[in-house]
Amino acid sequence: MAGHSQFKNIMHRKGAQDAKKAKLFAKLAREITVAAKSGIPDPKKNPRLRSAITNARHENMPNDRINKALQKATSNEEANNYEEIRYEGIGNGGIFFIIETLTDNRNRTASEIRSIFNKNGGSLGETGTATFNFEKIGKISYRSSSIPKEKYFDFVIEKNALDVFEENNCIISTCPPESFGKFRAELEIEFGEPIKSNLIWQAKNFIDVSLEIEKKVLLLIELLEENDDVQYVYTNINTNYELEE
């Protein structure tokens, strides 16, 4: 019986992992489609699309899924028309939230996000509720083992990077949003394709909270990220705790 129980647990975990990966691939595909529609559907001439494809490859998204997402960009189907909508809110402990979404039904998305906040000790705010405490920047990541570290640091400093640092076996550099495409292209010529690159909202000031509040905030982040329309969630919390699987 113990062996049978262990097998069921393994299958349950695998099923949960597969479902999580399927949801991630759907979000990556949606970003590729929207990025391709936002400009020229050629990654060499569209920095946002190139970043979307890079991020999808980093998550091991199959090429046929990437190509299918690109093809949707030229389709006139109503289901492929997504709006980019940003929501802002406040969670437990006064933590600010920015939520970026891609949706084909703004009323549904707003209702679902508001419900998640209300049920978890937070509140959905108006435009400007949180963005004053964040700045938009470009963020590009390489594996530390894949590039000559000293050369990379010298190069990005020469290119006027905002910051460069090591984190989780990666070297990360940031830049102003208006120079993101050019900065990324120069890095790629010199060091090859990064493992990840995108525009993000970075908090200007991070807040320390109690462990109890931190758990509640991380749960709220997790619930928001589980929503099909949510692409990214940004906060200004300093985290030390990780939710159990």
Tens of pLDDT along 131-177? 999 999 999 999 999 999 999 999 999 999 999 999 999 999 999 99
Residue 136: both structure tokens together:
């938009």
Q: How far apart are CA 64 and CA 78, in angstroms?
A: 22
DSSP state of 237: B
The domain segmentation of the chain, as residue ranges, is 2-78, 86-127+205-235, 133-203
Residue 92: both structure tokens together:
């437990």
Domain covering 86-127+205-235, topology: Alpha-Beta Plaits (3.30.70)
Domains 2-78 and 86-127+205-235 belong to one CATH topology: no
Helix boundaries (H) for 120-233: 149-158, 180-191, 211-226
The answer to whether the predicted template modeling score (pTM) of the entire model surpasses 0.85 is: no
What is the CATH code of the structural domain delimited by 2-78?
Answer: 1.10.10.200
**96: closest CA among 199, 217, 216?**
217
Residue 107: both structure tokens together:
């009323």
**pLDDT tens, position by position, 24-81:** 999 999 999 999 988 888 888 898 999 999 999 999 999 999 999 998 888 766 556 8
Q: How far apart are CA 203 and CA 239, in angstroms?
A: 13
Q: How far apart are CA 143 and CA 194, in angstroms?
A: 8
**pLDDT tens, position by position, 107-129:** 999 999 999 999 999 999 999 99
Domain covering 133-203, topology: Alpha-Beta Plaits (3.30.70)
